[in-house]
Structure formats: C-alpha cells, structure tokens
Amino acid sequence: MKIVSYNINSLRLRLPLLKNFVDEINPDVICLQETKVADEFFPHEGVKELGFEYVEFSGEKSYNGVAILSKFPLKNTQKIDVAGYGHKRHISATIEFGDKEVELHNFYIPAGGDEADPKINPKFDHKLKFLDWMVEHFKEKQGKNLIIVGDFNIAPLEHDVWSHKQLLKVVSHTPIEVERLEKIRASADFIDTHRHFVPESEKLFSWWSYRGKEPFKSNRGRRLDHIWCSHSLKNHMKSVETYQNYRIVESPSDHVPILTHFQK
C-alpha cells in the first residue's frame, strides 16, 4: 500500500499535475492538504479520472481543506474541528490493510504566523492548541494501528531545515513547536517513516518557498510534511520517497508529495 501526503495548494488548479503524479507513481491512497475548495465545488469528475473510487473531503473556500483519495474503501470517516476554530484541517478514515484495521488521519496543522509567542500571536497560540489537542487525542488511541500524515508545518530535526542555527527562532523550527511535536510522537509511540529510512545526518526537505526562482540553487528548504505510523506497522514499512522533482515542474505547489510504501 503506497500512501502519499501532498500539500497541493489548490486542488482544482493542480488537478493536471496530480494526474501526472498518479500516472507516474500509482499510489493507493493520497492525502491532500490545502485543497482550497468548498465541498459544494469539489472537482468530483477530475478526481474520478485519477482512478480513485473512494474519496472523502472536508473543505472550505480559499483556505485550508483536506481530502483522502483511496483505491480501498474508507470507513468511519471523521472530520474533526480541532481546537474549535472552524477550520477544515482534519479528516480520518479506517482502511483495511491485510488482517489489520488501520486508522488513517490526515492533518493540515496551522502554520502559526510570524512570532513564536502565543501571548502576542493568536496564530501561534492556535498552532500550540492544535498540537496539544493531538497529544491528548492520540494518547487515547495507543495500541491501535495508526497512520498519521500531513503538512505538520514543523521541521523537527537539525537537518530538516537548511540552517538549524538560522531557523531556531523561525516558526516551524522553534524548540517550543519541536517539543510539542515530540509529545505527539510519544503519545502513541509513532515512527517517523521518512527518518526511519533516511539518516538524520542527511538533509531532507519537502517544502521550498515560492520566493526565489530556483529553489534548489540555494536549497533553503524545510521538511514540513510527514508520514508517521504506529509500531504495530513497523515491520510493514518497505520504503519511502520524497518527490523533489515536483517542486520544479510547471506551476508547482510549494510542497512536494511524499510517500511511504507499506507491504503486507
């Protein structure tokens, strides 16, 4: 089972790009973030042409929005208004994987604004509340088969950013966020699937700013997108991919698709 997480930054605009990706990679499940489309305008036809029979989504106009496209049935779909802000940033479903029932959660964690201080920056306060909610939520789910993916908007490790020193005070890499993320990871003993396969000493990015014409020239990227699984799936992990070339296609998202291949 190939599971993809992709912050697509407008599903309708990038349907052709997504089609290319699906034709090239043939994933079984795609979790999208920043679909930027209200549910009544969801592009059903275009998505159907991608070849996914099971589609669930939770969107809003202009901002946020998440979706799961799957070749396997999606059961018990849930859309949670995390921390009560009314944003469409979560969708989950249960998928059968061999003899296991896997609970798949797709998150678009708030970016958090500019200032890493919840007292003066309501967006950072929102981000921390969102992360705290996740800690409590997954504490209750210990022992389940879990896969949680998405744009977490946090690059936790030194080599998840282009310059650890220069980004220590930049939202996405501040110690306060990184500690919260580690709490979530510990809450249900998750494995960071990409770092399971890619050594921590190796730079690994999934996002590059739109500013600057050639993102790989300076390579000032960050690893903001993640696929985690519970230990019960550890022996099923086969490989991971980060499709960096999708940052330099025509009209790219500022994020690239990432993939984890689980085998039965």
Partner DNA sequence: ATGACGGATCTAATCCGA
Residues that bind DNA (CB under 7 A): 7, 9-10, 12-13, 34, 36-38, 61-63, 110-111, 113-114, 123, 151, 153, 170-172, 207, 209-212, 218, 220, 222, 224, 251, 254-255
Cβ-based nearer residue to DNA, 13 or 120? 13
Q: How far is the CB of 19 from DNA (least distance, A)?
A: 16
Cβ-based nearer residue to DNA, 10 or 232? 10
Q: Dihedral, CA atoms, 213, 112, 229, 8, nearest 10 degrees? A: -40
Q: How far is the CB of 112 from DNA (least distance, A)?
A: 7
Cβ-based nearer residue to DNA, 37 or 68? 37
Q: How far is the CB of 5 from DNA (least distance, A)?
A: 13
Q: How far is the CB of 143 from DNA (least distance, A)?
A: 31
Q: Report DSSP state, residue 189.
A: T
Q: How far is the CB of 57 from DNA (least distance, A)?
A: 15
- The C-alpha atoms of residue 170 and residue 4 are separated, in whole angstroms, by 27
Question: Rounded to the nearest 5°, which phi and psi values hold at 90?
Answer: -145, 140
Which residue, 126, 122, 94, is CA-closest to 110?
A: 126
Cβ-based nearer residue to DNA, 218 or 245? 218
Cβ-based nearer residue to DNA, 63 or 263? 63
Which of 14-18's residues contact partners 24+ apart within 8 Å by CB, and which partners? 14/251, 14/253, 15/43, 15/46, 15/47, 15/50, 17/246, 17/249, 17/251, 17/252, 17/253, 18/50
